[in-house]
Amino acid sequence: MIKLFSFGPAFGLPDPSPFVTKINLYMKMTGVEFESISDVGNLRKAPKAKLPYIDDEGEIIADSVFIIDHLKRKHVADLDDWLDERQAASAQLLGKSLDENLYWTVVHSRWIKDDVWPTIEKQFFSSLPFPANKLVAKMARSATKKQIMGHGMGKHSDEEVHEIATRNLNSLSILLEDKPYFFGEQPCTFDVTAFAMVSSLTLSTLETELNHTARQFKNLVSFTQRIAEQYYPEL
Ligand SMILES: N[C@@H](CCC(=O)N[C@@H](CS)C(=O)NCC(=O)O)C(=O)O
């Protein structure tokens, strides 16, 4: 059976990492059997130093996009085979926009904002003994700050990051309209990515300013709630 290396449920979400949630939901939607191996320590063994990665009977694949390619190829688990060529091309670009842009606003709202940091610190590092918990938390936060600065999102003011995220959410809301899924009646990989990214704001128990803004987009809230009720009733 496939092993999915993850962080484990947190903040009322299947996983604090939207990329892990993406793979978790993709496998649930396509009926691929898997087992979640949840441990923050998985990061140390991850081939690209990021989660998720999977172990499929000894075949190790890292990065959510390559994992989905693998699931399509090896397990004939394809959520996109009903899209026409133009829809598939749009879905691919839209998905990457969430992965590479909206994602970093989520990171900013959790790891950079001082009001939310104590909750993040407690969730990820409180199981370590003192003083290692404080030290490791400080190092992890500073590594994340370095990454977000390197990406460029970290160079913006809080207000600008909030504006970037809101613009993304507003566009998603317009595209979804009142349809069940973004491309119509049936889900595709883009819906999985959208669920993963948007639910990390709409369904999260974290009370960030960005989460409050996201919850104002009613169709996005019901989209994420509907999928969560179907695939994650335990949450
Ligand atoms: N391109 C990767 C991104 C994965 C990613 O950024 N994972 C984050 C968690 S959301 C991570 O493991 N970060 C830890 C780190 O960079 O130290 C994918 O699509 O899987």
Q: Give the length of the chain.
A: 235
Cα(82) to ligand 1 centroid in Å equals 29
Beta bridge partners of 59: 56
Select the more confidently predicted residue: 41 or 178.
Answer: 178
Task: Give the pLDDT confidence score for residue 35 in this predicted structure.
Answer: 98
Cα(92) to ligand 1 centroid in Å equals 18
Q: Is residue 80 part of a domain?
A: no
Given ligand 1 and candidates 5, 42, 43, 51, which is best to mutate, with the most ligand atoms within 8 Å of its CB? 51
CA nearest ligand 1 atom 12, residue: 50
Residue 183 and residue 92 share a domain: yes
Residue 67 and residue 101 share a domain: no
CA nearest ligand 1 atom 16, residue: 50
CATH of the domain at 67: 3.40.30.10
| 62 ligand 1 Cβ < 6 A | no
Q: Please name the amino acid found at residue 8.
A: G
| 6 ligand 1 Cβ < 6 A | no
Residue 226 and residue 159 share a domain: yes
Task: Give the pLDDT confidence score for residue 163 in this predicted structure.
Answer: 98
User: Which CA distances in Å does 230 have to 28, 75, 200, 234?
Assistant: 10, 22, 17, 10
CA nearest ligand 1 atom 2, residue: 63
Q: Is 20 helix (H, G, I), strand (E, B) or coil?
A: helix
Count of C-beta atoms within a 10 Å radius of residue 33: 9
Q: Please name the amino acid found at residue 53.
A: Y
Q: What is the mean pLDDT of residues 136-153?
A: 97
Residue 122 and residue 71 share a domain: no
Percentage of the residues of the chain whose pLDDT score is greater than 90: 95
Atom of ligand 1 nearest to the CA of 18: 10
Task: Give the pLDDT confidence score for residue 3 in this predicted structure.
Answer: 98
pLDDT digits (tens, 9 = 90+) for 84-126: 999 999 999 999 999 999 999 999 999 998 999 999 999 999 9
Residue 219 and residue 109 share a domain: yes
| 51 ligand 1 Cβ < 6 A | yes
Give the torsion through C-alpha atoms of 166, 172, 175, 180, to 10 deg: -140
* Domain carrying residue 40: 2-75
Task: Give the pLDDT confidence score for residue 127 in this predicted structure.
Answer: 87
pLDDT digits (tens, 9 = 90+) for 44-90: 999 999 999 999 999 999 999 999 999 999 999 999 999 999 999 99
| 39 ligand 1 Cβ < 6 A | no
Select the more confidently predicted residue: 127 or 160.
Answer: 160
**Average pLDDT of the chain, as a whole number:** 97
- The total of structural domains in the chain comes to 2
- Residue 71 near residue 32 (C-beta atoms within 8 A): yes
Task: Give the pLDDT confidence score for residue 40 in this predicted structure.
Answer: 87
pLDDT digits (tens, 9 = 90+) for 196-227: 999 999 999 999 999 999 999 999 999 999 99
CA nearest ligand 1 atom 19, residue: 64
Residue 135 sits at φ, ψ, to 5 deg, of: -65, -50
Residue 224 and residue 183 share a domain: yes
Residue with tokens 């939207």: 18
Q: What is the mean pLDDT of residues 189-195?
A: 98
CATH of the domain at 196: 1.20.1050.10
Q: CA-to-CA distance for 141 and 95, rounded, in angstroms?
A: 27
Residue 128 and residue 202 share a domain: yes
Which candidate, 150, 5, 142, 136, places its Cα nearest to that of 67?
A: 5
